[in-house]
Amino acid sequence: MSNTVLLAIDGSRGSDRALTHVRKRAELGGAKVVVAYVIEWSPYSFNTPEENAERHSRRETEISRATTSVVEPALTYLTEGGIDVESLVRHGPPSETLIKIAEEVGAAQIVIGRRGESGLKSLIFGSVAGNLIQTSPVPVMVVP
């Protein structure tokens, strides 16, 4: 069985807790960690012509911002613990994209922090962790 863990991060406090948790577990069990940052995006949205024309450069900015401010610090933190790491930044619908990545890298588990949003807010915006639990083909660990 693969010993790869997919860690989904977004720079939130919940995702920081998940990061800490994954480092502890990986140090004990020697797992490989794939860090993924999914930038929420849908190919079926409606945009102005201007937004479309600038989309390509906007995408690059989004990726580099996610990489430098969230992904790289996480990689450094995990490497410090002597963990074998890899990273990915991708656009897409969050839970679907995470599942796709999990399949691509052959992850045995997905770890995600939770935002702890309840009630109305999660009803409107949905919850990535909640969706993952319902749809993921591999076990999902939600770090509180």
Partner 1 sequence: MTRIFYALLALLFVALPAQAGIDDTINDITAPIASFIGTVVFFKVPFAGAQLPLVVLWLVVGAVFFTVYLGFVNIRGFKHAIQLVRGDYADPNSSGEVSHFQALATAVSGTVGIGNIGGVAVAVTVGGAGATFWLIVAGFLGMSTKFVECTLGVKYRTENPDGSVSGGPMYYLRKGFEERGMAGFGKFMGTFYAVGIFIGALGIGNMFQSNQAYVQLNTVAGGALDGYGWLVGLILAALVFAVIIGGIKSIARVTEKVVPFMAIFYCFFAIIVILMNLTSIPQAIANIFTGAFTGEGVAGGALGALIIGFQRAVFSNEAGIGSASIAHSAVKTAEPVTEGYVSLLEPFIDTILICTITALVIGTSQVADPNFANGAQGVAMTSAAFERQLSWFPLPLAFAALLFAFSTMISWSYYGLKGWTYLFGEGERGQTIYKLIFCAFVALGCVVQLGPILDISDALVFLIAVPNILGLYFLAPLVRAEMNAYMARLKSGEIKKFKN
At 33, is the secondary structure helix, strand, or coil?
strand
Residue 84: which residues within 8 A CB-CB, separation 6 or more?
32, 33
Nearest CB to partner 1, comparing residues 39 and 75: 39
Q: How far is the CB of 46 from partner 1 (least distance, A)?
A: 5
Nearest CB to partner 1, comparing residues 3 and 131: 131
**Tokens representing residue 138 in the block:** 């591999």
* Percentage helix, strand, coil for the chain under 3-state DSSP, each rounded to 5: 50, 20, 25
Q: How far is the CB of 55 from partner 1 (least distance, A)?
A: 5
Q: Which one of residues 20, 47, 76, 79 is an interface residue with partner 1 (CB under 8 A)?
A: 47
Radius of gyration of the chain (CA): 16
Residue 7: which residues within 8 A CB-CB, separation 6 or more?
18, 19, 22, 33, 34, 35, 36, 74, 110, 111, 112
Using the rule CB under 8 A, is 39 a contact of partner 1? yes
Using the rule CB under 8 A, is 51 a contact of partner 1? yes
Using the rule CB under 8 A, is 43 a contact of partner 1? yes
Q: Which one of residues 49, 119, 134, 144 is an interface residue with partner 1 (CB under 8 A)?
A: 49
Q: How far is the CB of 40 from partner 1 (least distance, A)?
A: 10
Q: What single letter denotes the amino acid at residue 99?
A: I
Using the rule CB under 8 A, is 92 a contact of partner 1? yes
Binding interface with partner 1 (CB under 8 A): 39, 41, 43-57, 59-60, 62-63, 90-92, 97, 100
